[in-house]
Chains A and B, each alone.
Chain A
Amino acid sequence: MFTRHDSLKPAYDVVIIGAGGHGLASAYYLARDHGIRNVAVLEKGYIGGGNTGRNTTIIRSNYLTPEGVKFYDESVRLWQDLGEDFDLNLFYSTRGHYTLAHTDAAMRTMRWRAEVNKHFGVRSEAVDAAFVKRGIPNIDMSCGGHAPILGALFHEPGAIARHDAVAWGYGRGADRRGVEIHQQTEVTGIRVQGGRVVGVDTTRGFIATSKVLCAVAGFTPRILDMVGLKTPIYIHPLQAMVSEPIKPWLDPIIVSGSLHVYVSQTARGELVMGASLDPYELHQTRSTLDFVEGLSSHMLDMFPFLSEVKVNRQWAGLSDMTPDFAPIMGVTPVEGFFLDAGWGTWGFKATPVCGKTMSHTVATGRNHPLIEGFTMDRFARYQLTGEKGAASVGH
């Protein structure tokens, strides 16, 4: 599926660190839309082995800030014909997405999000309890008696997709256009002279380049140390788990912020489930029993009939979190060093639009208009892009 390259070239026009969805999408659009094909994508592990293969695959655009809604809406639009673009089945499945509200305060946030969404043409509605019951007939509306469902934000375009295929599709498309993907190649240093990037040291030798894009999810701070930049990014693990396959019974995607659950059923019948971040900083993808116990108990609040269903697997990824729950993207004070980071728990859905906007930013040296609310200098100006109210679950 991918061309194997035995050695690195001495120089590339652009070096992308990280062969996950974001890095490969950026390479793909650099080659396809900007004609920049002398590009190396460096990956210390394997293609899509980081958070691209660890997320719970939910795609939505029902955000809270105008910057977020416009950005993610463009991403949802790009998702629609991606499978055709790649000639690869992404199992993109539009299901509808319910964010359940168990309190009056949550209902208020749902109305707020629905109004912002509709203002920008995104299909979201605040709906009542009867609507929720019709959409999810098997749910216990009282949630075990202690968190009755009052209503929800219903987002019709909510979808899931096969996450590995997204990395493979972008990777293959980039590969066919001449981009080199080097797996098992770790970046050990970035050389900066006079405030400009001049090259990258790797475990397989030095590469000269004037442009580096960092798209490494939970490893961002380690790369930033190499160029001497400080950001608000901090790392917490995010865990997820999947059940054994069962008959299809859950069509929509269900999120409950109060119960800290998001769940969908895949095409092969597994329930994919996630919860909130682990409670403290850790740079390790270990799994915990606390997580399975907590998430299972909240799943049973909503769906008591699942009590005999087994959990098949659990895993974790490293999330680079930001104080306002918005990403950090674009140009940086180091000329030629571009950042696609701060993707915390919300990065998978943004894969196509990140590729589009970051390729534009790298090619032109100027931030794409859609990412102007996400720039690194917003913190020094105290102009945060407060997206926490649109996070799947309370953190």
Chain B
Amino acid sequence: MKILVCPLNGPRPVSEFAYGGEVRVSPDPNTCTDAEWSAYVFNRSGSSGVKYEWWCHIASGFWFVALRDTACDKVLATYPADIVRRGLPPLRDGPASVTAS
């Protein structure tokens, strides 16, 4: 079975996790246009590629961020959720230096 490294619980079978979709940044609802808001609500980056994603370890209820290549299902790194508040490293620079701790 595929193994995912949870930043809190270490390596666990992927069946213990729930996928929460790509990490997306909301536009400011007070200033954005209706078109920008509906694009944020509905549109997705549908093509394959390396993406930041939300995952949850169900048994412990722990949400975290994984950097995963959706073309080959390879998880490149996982991070505690606060990396989103601190700012995700741009994808072209490769995985962030912060790794699972």
- Report A's interface with B, CB cutoff 8 A: 220-222, 224-225, 230-235, 279-284, 286, 289-290, 320, 323, 379-380, 382
Contact = CB atoms under 8 A, between A and B. Distances in A.
Contact of B71 (A220, A231, A233, A284): A284
Nearest to B19: A280
A290 B19 contact: no
Contacts of A282: 70, 73
A320 B44 CA distance: 11
A280 B42 CA distance: 17
13 contacts: A222-B48, A230-B43, A231-B44, A231-B46, A234-B44, A279-B18, A281-B19, A283-B71, A284-B71, A284-B72, A379-B42, A380-B38, A382-B38
B46 A220 contact: yes
B73 A232 contact: no
Contact of A230 (B18, B19, B39, B51): B39
B97 interface: no
Nearest to A378: B42
Contacts of A382: 38
Closest 6 CB pairs of A and B: A221-B46, A280-B19, A283-B48, A379-B42, A232-B42, A221-B47
Interface of B: 1, 15, 18-19, 22, 34-35, 38-39, 41-48, 51, 53, 70-73
A334 B72 CA distance: 31
Given A235-B46, A280-B53, A283-B71, 12 more contacts: A221-B45, A221-B46, A222-B47, A222-B48, A281-B70, A282-B73, A283-B47, A284-B72, A290-B15, A379-B43, A380-B35, A382-B38
Main secondary structure of the interface of A (DSSP, over half): loop
Contacts of A286: 73
Nearest to B48: A283
B64 to A, nearest CB: 14
B99 to A, nearest CB: 21
A230 B19 CA distance: 22
B39 A283 contact: no
Contacts of A233: 44, 46
Contacts of B41: 379
Given A379-B38, A380-B38, A224 B15 contact: no
Contacts of B1: 289-290
Contacts of B39: 230, 380
A232 B44 CA distance: 5
A46 to B, nearest CB: 22
Task: Pick the most buried of A281, A286, A382: most chain B CB atoms within 10 A of its CB.
Answer: A281
B75 to A, nearest CB: 11
B27 to A, nearest CB: 14
Given A282-B70, A282-B73, A379-B38, A232 B43 contact: yes
A145 to B, nearest CB: 24
A218 to B, nearest CB: 9
B47 A231 contact: no
Nearest to B71: A283
B88 to A, nearest CB: 18
B44 to A, nearest CB: 5
Contacts of A283: 47-48, 70-71
- Select the residue from A231, A279, A283 with max chain B CB neighbours within 10 A: A283
